[in-house]
Amino acid sequence: MDMEVKTINWEKIFSVIQGSYSIDKHIDFFTWLQESVNEVLPHDMLLASWGEFKNTNEISKLNYDVASNLSDVSTQIIFDASAEIDTFMSHLYQDWIKNNRRWFVINNLDELDLNHQFNANFLSKLKQLNSLLVYGVSDLRGKNECLYVFFSKKKTFEVQDSIMGLIMPHIDNVLRRIQHLQPLEVVNTSEAIAHFSGLTARELEIIHWVKSGKTNQEIGMILYISQNTVKSHLKRVFQKLNVTRRAQAVAILSNHPVEKLIL
């Protein structure tokens, strides 16, 4: 990469690496990315994908994980557009292969016709992002290669090759170790929602994540709402179910497929 040579802050690099070893939850991963990794690898969104990229005749559904500080981009938005993003990621994978499996950057996204180039209409939802960096990891044992795409609001994505080599193995290791967020199963059944204790779609969505063991902070991160908003929704859920604690609410709803009632 032809980039300006800058002095590496080794102390900061070692601090980022050391922090990776204590991560065991997705919320910890998100915090680590935003507070530590972002200091040496500035970005606004990380989209990780793994699976079978090589099937060009019929793209099989890939797996995804997302860490974003953008208020209007949530994990569920990525899952909802998975068919388009499969195509987008497969194109980036082919570009990575053509680049001899070396990481590369695409700058000035607003000046490129990416919808034509990648057939990725979902990028219209990410108009505030202006550059991206693609880093691939080969997995010879599991035969599942992983592609990491970092998005930035800046028009030019600048990072040193040595920093990528130092940081990326640890990002890859953490993502292979933690539990990934799963998409909700969506069924448009408003009558079922009305019948189901009078809970709204948002309240059902929140109780789904409560049942999944997520904290208020994690739920807020997933849905891009504040912890106070999560607490307010939970308070209304408790009132409707006539309970006082989240464990009681989960116990009442434990035998019901809440995620299938979400609009």
**CA–CA dist 233, 228 (Å, integer):** 9
Inside any domain, residue 64: yes
Strand order in the sheet with 131-137: 63-68, 45-51, 145-152, 131-137, 104-106
HSE-up (13 A, CA, CB side) for residue 246? 17
| Res 148: pLDDT | 95
- Separation of first and last alpha carbons in the chain: 46
Residue of 123, 234, 171 lying closest to 21 (CA atoms): 171
Q: Same structural domain for residues 154 and 214?
A: no
Amino acid identity of 61? Answer: K
Residue of 152, 135, 164 lying closest to 50 (CA atoms): 135
- How confident is the model over 158-199, as pLDDT tens digits? 888 889 999 999 999 998 888 776 655 444 444 444 445 577
| Res 192: pLDDT | 41
Q: Same structural domain for residues 141 and 250?
A: no
Domain at 254, CATH number? 1.10.10.10
The pTM for the full model equals 0.69
| Res 212: pLDDT | 75
Secondary element (H or E) of residue 106: strand 104-106
Residue of 95, 43, 89, 97 lying closest to 70 (CA atoms): 43
Of 112, 146, 177, which one is at a domain's C-terminal end?
177
**pLDDT of 76 higher than 70:** no
Q: Which of 11-15, 41-45, 221-225 has the lowest mean pLDDT?
A: 221-225
Instruction: Specify whether the CB–CB gap between 93 and 203 falls below 8 A.
Output: no
Instruction: Specify whether the CB–CB gap between 184 and 75 falls below 8 A.
Output: no
Q: Which of 37-46, 50-59, 218-227 has the lowest mean pLDDT?
A: 50-59
* Number of domains composing the chain: 2
* Rounded alpha-carbon distances, angstroms, from residue 152 to 7, 81, 169: 22, 20, 21
Q: Same structural domain for residues 173 and 210?
A: no
**CA–CA dist 165, 103 (Å, integer):** 10
Of 177, 208, 236, which one is at a domain's C-terminal end?
177
Q: Same structural domain for residues 49 and 156?
A: yes
**CA–CA dist 88, 119 (Å, integer):** 7
Q: Same structural domain for residues 111 and 167?
A: yes
* Rounded alpha-carbon distances, angstroms, from residue 210 to 126, 199, 201, 229: 29, 14, 14, 14
**pLDDT of 218 higher than 50:** yes
Q: Same structural domain for residues 215 and 173?
A: no
**CA–CA dist 153, 132 (Å, integer):** 9
Domain at 106, CATH number? 3.30.450.80
Structure tokens given for 262: 């979400």
Inside any domain, residue 4: no
Helices (H), the chain: 10-20, 26-32, 38-40, 75-80, 82-98, 114-118, 161-177, 190-195, 201-211, 216-223, 227-241, 246-253
Q: Same structural domain for residues 44 and 128?
A: yes
* Rounded alpha-carbon distances, angstroms, from residue 162 to 37, 53, 154, 167, 223: 14, 27, 21, 9, 35
| Res 25: pLDDT | 81
| Res 75: pLDDT | 67
Detail the DSSP E strand segments found in 115-163. Answer: 131-137, 145-152
Range of the domain at 250: 190-261
Split at pLDDT 50, 70, 90, the class of 254 is: low
Secondary element (H or E) of residue 47: strand 45-51
Split at pLDDT 50, 70, 90, the class of 3 is: very low
- How confident is the model over 237-252, as pLDDT tens digits? 888 877 777 777 777 6
